[in-house]
Copies of this chain bind each other. A is one copy, B any other.
Amino acid sequence: MKFLDKLDKAVKQNNSLVCVGLDVDLQKVPQTVLNQEDPIFVFNREIVNATKDLVCAYKPNIAFYERYGVYGLASLIKTIELIQQTGIPVILDAKRGDIGTSSAAYAEAAFNIYKADAVTVSPYMGKDSLEPFLEYRDKGVIVLCLTSNPGSKDFQRDIFINVAFQVKDWNKHGNLGLVVGATKPEDLAEIRKIVGEMPILIPGVGAQGADLAAAVKAGVDKHGNRAVINSSRGIIYASKGEDFAQAAAGAARKLRDEINKYREK
C-alpha cells in the first residue's frame, strides 16, 4: 500500500495523529529487557504491542541503532518487520542527503533493506539528490524544512519557505512530505498554507516543550489530518521500570486525546 494511504488509514482507524519515535537507548530500558537475547527488539516489540491501537506511525531514528553497530541495525530490521504486521506505517528517520549513485544506494537501503514506508531526507543538496528516492512511488519521502532546534536559525531561516515551495513543485507522484518543528507554530501555519494537504511530520512537542495546541492547529490540513505529531522519549520512557509498555500506552493515549481536542473544528 502507498505510504500516504497507509497513513490515512491508520489515522482514521486509531483516530490518532500520534507518531511514536522509537529512539532506543539501552541505558534507559529495564533489566528484564536487557536480560533478553535481543533487548533492542524486545523493547520495541513491547512498545509497539502496547501502542499499536493508539498511533498513526512509528518513527525509528536510525542513529540510535547504528550506534549499536550491525547488531543494532539487525534489531532495527526485525523491529520494522514486526511493525509491518500491524498495518501502521514506518517512517525511517535517517535525514539522508547525497547525490547520484550514493543517493540511489541510500534509497535502496531505506526501502529494500530496512523496508520502511517512508524516510526523512535533507534538502541541502537539491532536487537531484532526492530524485532516486522519489522513484519509489509507493514510498514516502519526507524532507527537512524547518526543524525544532536552536540551530534551525543558522541556515534554514533563509531558505525554508523556498524549500516548501520547491518540494510542493517536485511532488509529481504525491509521495513527498515535510518535517516542520512544533516549536514555531506561525511558520508551521505558513508552510501548511503553501503545501496544502501534504503530510507534515512534526517533532518537538515533548522534550522540546512546544505549545501543543498551537502546533496542532497550525499543522493539520483543512480536514484536521496529515499532521504526524511525533513524541519519542515522552512515550517510550514514560516509565523506566517494568511497566514501561503500559506507561507508553498511557502516554500515547493522553497525547492522542489532547491532540484530538485541538483537531476539532
A123 in the interface (beta carbon within 8 A): yes
Instruction: Report how far A108 CA is from B149 CA in the complex, Å.
Output: 20
A contacts, CB < 8 Å to B: 23, 25, 61, 63-64, 66-70, 73-74, 77, 93, 95-103, 105-106, 108-109, 113, 122-129, 144, 147-156, 158-159, 162-163, 166
Using known A-B contacts A73-B73, A124-B124, A158-B158, determine if residue A102 contacts B23 with beta carbons closer than 8 Å: yes
| Nearest opposing residue in chain B for A166, CB measure | B154
- In the complex, the count of this chain's copies comes to 2
- Which 9 residue pairs of A and B lie closest in terms of their CB atoms, listed nearest first? A126-B151, A126-B154, A63-B105, A66-B109, A67-B105, A128-B151, A70-B70, A99-B149, A63-B102
Known: A70-B70, A70-B74. 16 other contacts (CB 8 A): A63-B98, A93-B102, A95-B98, A95-B122, A95-B125, A97-B122, A97-B144, A99-B148, A124-B124, A125-B144, A125-B147, A126-B153, A126-B155, A127-B150, A155-B162, A155-B166
A133 to chain B, nearest CB (A): 12
Instruction: Report how far A106 CA is from B62 CA in the complex, Å.
Output: 9
Subset of 15 A-B contacts with CB under 8 Å: A23-B102, A25-B101, A61-B102, A64-B105, A67-B106, A67-B108, A69-B77, A69-B113, A70-B73, A70-B77, A124-B124, A124-B156, A128-B149, A155-B159, A155-B166
Interface of A is mostly: helix
| Nearest opposing residue in chain B for A102, CB measure | B63
Q: Which B residues are in CB contact (< 8 Å) with A69?
A: 73, 77, 109, 113
Instruction: Report how far A158 CA is from B123 CA in the complex, Å.
Output: 13
Contact of A128 among B77, B106, B150 (CB under 8 A): B150
Instruction: Report how far A23 CA is from B73 CA in the complex, Å.
Output: 21
A155 touches B66 (CB 8 A): no
Q: Which B residues are in CB contact (< 8 Å) with A106?
A: 63, 66-67
